[in-house]
Structure 1
Amino acid sequence: MRERAGARMILHPVPGPQRRVSGVRRLASGLRRSFSEFLGLPVLIVAAFVVLAGAIDRLDNDAGPRSAWSPLRLFLSQYVGDTQSAISMLSTIAGSLISVTSITFSILLLAVQQGAATLNSQIVDHYLRRRANSAWFGFFVGVSLFVLITLVQTTHTTAPVFGVMSSTLLGAVSLVALVVLIYTTIDQTRPATAIATIREAALAARACQLPLLAASAEPVGAGPDGVPIPAATGGYLARIDAGGLARALDSHPGRTLALPVPVGRFVPPGSAVAVLTGPPADPALVAAIRACLAIEEQRDVAHDPAVGLDHIATIGWTAISTARSDPAVGAIAVHALQRLLHAWAAPAPRAATSRIVYRDRLPDQVLDAIESLIVAAAESRQHQSLALILRALALSLPVLPDRQQDGIARLVATVAPSLASHLPTRMLREDTGLLVAAFRRAGRDRSADHLSEILAHVVRESRDGVADPS
């Protein structure tokens, strides 16, 4: 549906059938997300154990008379006994596996919940996304199902030698593996491990985002004045198919597409998700553009590096602020943000002549996260956390490009009132001096002078307060 507003044409989403289609897409998106996050690998592992149970049952049924058995089968048969003994053994193994596994899984879920309560609720998301965790769950469920299937098949098998011995071996391996699973789960709830996992997920998502940046150009000046393409449904912009957008524009020459909404941002229903400039918009082109912009109910950790960045910033904010007051966890978050600042400092390759325009906001978002921690340190009066942040900025400033150096210089406006709210401890004075010296070496004397004046003022006020207790 089209409507003219002044000199611009607005393309409204079509109600009715399109909304029904969006419901189907939402269901499909939920299934895709659950299988990509967790269910896919366990389902494959369980299916493999089911196939293995059928194959071993076939071997037992095709063994023939005892005189035709192989030496291995004859050796193993002395530990199995008759069919009734095999059923009794398999029943014991199956019951033990199900009981121990269910109790262990309950304890592990409580441990993950406690870790999420201590750090951040998104810890659960990253726990589910780890392939090792989903593989362990699939293994234990698959082994339990294998033993149950073997138990049922034993009733029609004369000598279930391989079935019983395989079940016994897998049961023993499962009990040993439980120890490994318990340790790895508890280890993942440690602050250092959890934050490192989130950081690695953010780096992997950034690598997935590079093709979009390589196929698009950085915008110059104000946003384009073209035809807004509204979102057919509300949600988060989870992914952008740069290849699909390029193919759609190739079939419609003379048009340029601007993407003002970054990946991960919430898109209200009907708001502009893209701006198309050039000749009048073709409905087929608009539909193709919408199909390349995936709007979902949740942000996509695998394609949105800002998700992990926000999670680390939230953990750091909670630890540094009075919400938890845990400087140790706050230090881990600061160092993780510093590593992301260095990892994303180099400008990503862009296509200057591309007809797709997209702004890369991620380097600035890292500095925004660090600025939030500065505010949290001011609120909680954690001088050691503020000193650590200033030291991190001082050590990073010389090796960062001009864009990030400009961003750190802008942070002085936030650092100044935060510094003024603290007592001038030795740690805070030394690390502030490091940042001042880094600014001067970088030729940013204005920022250095401003920070030096604030530090001198804080020291002077502290001495005056000591000299005059009243």
Structure 2
Amino acid sequence: MKAVTSIPVRLTSAIKRSFRQFLSLPLATVVGFAGLSALIYLADKSWSGGHAPPGFRWLGELMGDRAALGSLLATVASSIVTVTSITFSLLLLAVQQGAAALTAQVTDQFMARKVNQFYFGYFVGLSVFVLTTLVTNTDYHRPVFAAALSLLLTALALCLIIVMIYNTIDQMRPEQIIQFIHDKVLEARGADRKLLAATRREGRPGWADAALVRSRDSGYVVGLDLARIEKALERQARGDVEIEVLITLGTYRAVHDPLFRVRCRPGAVLSEDAHHSIVDETLTAFAYDDGRDLQGNTAYGLHQLSIIAWTSVSTSKSNPNPGLTVIQALRDIISQWSRGEVEIRADAGSHVVYGDAAPVIATDALEAVIVVASESIQSQTLAEAVRTLAILLRHVERPTAERLADVAHRALSSLGEHVLTRELDVALQDLADALRERGFVTVAAAVSEASADLAASLGKLNSRSTRVPGTTS
């Protein structure tokens, strides 16, 4: 059996994730400033020997001699470093407060925003540029152009501070956070569709399970090399074997957790060497990491939305506003994904079976909001969730509608915690009508009956535990 992933491999995965999540743009911006510094250095050579470039004598007189330039650059450099450190500290404090109000997911979306990455890179790059210019201020090199550009870029940086502070505060609004995650979830669906189009949803009928392979590593499964699996199967089995992947990307696997099945064509004989080769190659095709990001991982984005809704709606925060926004975001996601459940292409010739879990995770997230609304007795949150079920049921495809009908049926168990407000009463009636229109007559009757039982408690003084008394035999 192979050993678990080595430390260098995990370190490489962590570095790749850090660049993917945050470091790429800031470091590219810093490198850009370094390149600009080199170009300006070449341009400033024209000032050597006390000669001014044609048409720029006024600039040399304005910036002063070497001593004046050194004093100016030293002041600018120290000011930039001080302002940058203070500003970033305040911004990180604002992010921390936002995370405390919602969840740690705030930090992920803050780092993932390109504009924030540019701000960090700009201020650090500007500091590098000014310090480099200060070093090049010598007896034989007079950095007039560089000093002038340093002043202009510093003035721009001071203006950017105002914009950056506003953007950070605006980004901490729950609506902005949820909208950003919503957009990333929809973007990541594109990677899902590519993977789904290259695999099949169901195994070939009649093929037998030859082996259940368990994970030899632990962590989040963040990648799957289909080409490697297909090559191994073609080389060792020539179409007689298929791999049924038991998880989806973004799932956590501990050592010895089930990972995939090896299935064989009836009557096919697989040698022991071929079997071991296929298993080893397939295991290597799975990429593990200690963390996840929103890029290309729909499950993680949906998980973040669910956590934000659960934290804000529960009595931990008792804030219905983020929960309502999450419900609206989930409604849009489910609506956009529904048609894809029946239209996503599959590669009939593929020997890899991979399931589509994202639409199920989305409806499960909506169900979780309904459950937690009973804990905090937020009738407005429950009413919005019920309205969402009714709206979606009237236009989504059949597979989605079946899951939503099941969610509606299961949600009835939590109604006893609530008071039948007018808003909730209307929403439940609308849900019952929507269920009947889609042919879920039994569930519609159950919703109507539960609503009637809850209405029977109106006008009676009951505690939370006895709001809707159970029937006695």
Q: Same fold (TM over 0.5)?
A: yes
Give the Å deviation of 1:160: 2.1
Residue 36 of structure 2 corresponds to residue 52 of structure 1:
yes
8 Å Cα contact 1:238-1:303 kept in structure 2: no
State the partner residue of 2:134: 151
State the partner residue of 1:38: 22
Moved more, 417-426 or 86-95: 417-426
After superposition, give the CA deviation of every residue in 1:277-299 in whole Å (9 maximum; x if it has no partner): 23244444333222221111112
Using the size of structure 1 for normalisation, the TM-score is: 0.91
Distance in 2, Cα, partners of 1:136 & 1:103: 14
Give the Å deviation of 1:22: 2.1
8 Å Cα contact 1:60-1:157 kept in structure 2: no
Distance in 2, Cα, partners of 1:265 & 1:40: 26
Gaps of 5+ in 1: 1-12
In the alignment of these two chains, the number of paired residues is 450
State the partner residue of 1:396: 392
Moved more, 174-183 or 238-247: 238-247
**% identity of equivalent residues:** 33
State the partner residue of 1:293: 286
Distance in 2, Cα, partners of 1:91 & 1:458: 74
State the partner residue of 2:470: none
After superposition, give the CA deviation of every residue in 1:219-265 in whole Å (9 maximum; x if it has no partner): 26899622233323111111222333333333331210110022121
Distance in 1, Cα, partners of 2:126 & 2:116: 16
Distance 1:238 1:158, change over 3 A: closer
State the partner residue of 1:234: 218
Distance in 1, Cα, partners of 2:65 & 2:288: 60
State the partner residue of 2:252: 266
State the partner residue of 2:322: 329
Distance in 2, Cα, partners of 1:130 & 1:251: 44
Using the size of structure 2 for normalisation, the TM-score is: 0.90
Distance 1:77 1:222, change over 3 A: farther
Give the Å deviation of 1:208: 1.2
8 Å Cα contact 2:199-2:352 kept in structure 1: yes
Moved more, 221-230 or 354-363: 221-230
Distance 1:67 1:60, change over 3 A: closer
State the partner residue of 2:471: none
Gaps of 5+ in 2: 265-269, 468-473
State the partner residue of 1:250: 234
State the partner residue of 2:267: none
8 Å Cα contact 1:237-1:295 kept in structure 2: yes
State the partner residue of 1:315: 308
Aligned-partner SS, 2:394 = helix
Aligned-partner SS, 1:257 = strand
Give the Å deviation of 1:267: 0.8
Give the Å deviation of 1:68: 6.1
Distance in 2, Cα, partners of 1:68 & 1:319: 64
Distance in 1, Cα, partners of 2:208 & 2:409: 31
After superposition, give the CA deviation of every residue in 1:119-177 in whole Å (9 maximum; x if it has no partner): 11021112112222111101110001100010010124443210110111111111111
Moved more, 250-259 or 103-112: 250-259
Distance in 2, Cα, partners of 1:206 & 1:110: 33
Distance in 2, Cα, partners of 1:233 & 1:43: 32
Residue among 16, 19, 22 paired with 2:6: 22
Distance in 1, Cα, partners of 2:189 & 2:261: 24
Distance 1:132 1:287, change over 3 A: farther
Q: State how 1:107-146 maps to structure 2 within 5 Å.
A: 107-146=90-129
Aligned-partner SS, 2:209 = coil
Aligned-partner SS, 2:40 = helix
Give the Å deviation of 1:34: 1.1
Aligned-partner SS, 1:236 = strand
After superposition, give the CA deviation of every residue in 1:433-459 in whole Å (9 maximum; x if it has no partner): 111111111122111111000101111
State the partner residue of 1:187: 170
Distance 1:374 1:384, change over 3 A: same
8 Å Cα contact 1:420-1:455 kept in structure 2: no
Distance in 2, Cα, partners of 1:169 & 1:399: 56
8 Å Cα contact 1:228-1:274 kept in structure 2: yes
Q: Kindly provide the amino acid, as one letter, of the partner of residue 105 in structure 1.
A: F
Aligned-partner SS, 1:456 = helix
Q: State how 1:159-170 maps to structure 2 within 5 Å.
A: 159-170=142-153
Aligned-partner SS, 2:288 = strand
Give the Å deviation of 1:463: 4.1
Distance in 1, Cα, partners of 2:291 & 2:212: 24
Distance in 2, Cα, partners of 1:156 & 1:114: 50
8 Å Cα contact 1:49-1:146 kept in structure 2: yes
Aligned-partner SS, 1:159 = coil
Residue among 72, 82, 87 paired with 1:104: 87
Residue 446 of structure 2 corresponds to residue 450 of structure 1:
yes
Distance in 2, Cα, partners of 1:65 & 1:24: 53
Q: Kindly provide the amino acid, as one letter, of the partner of residue 279 in structure 2.
A: V
Distance in 2, Cα, partners of 1:213 & 1:156: 65
After superposition, give the CA deviation of every residue in 1:299-335 in whole Å (9 maximum; x if it has no partner): 2421220101011111111111111111111110111
Q: Kindly provide the amino acid, as one letter, of the partner of residue 243 in structure 1.
A: A
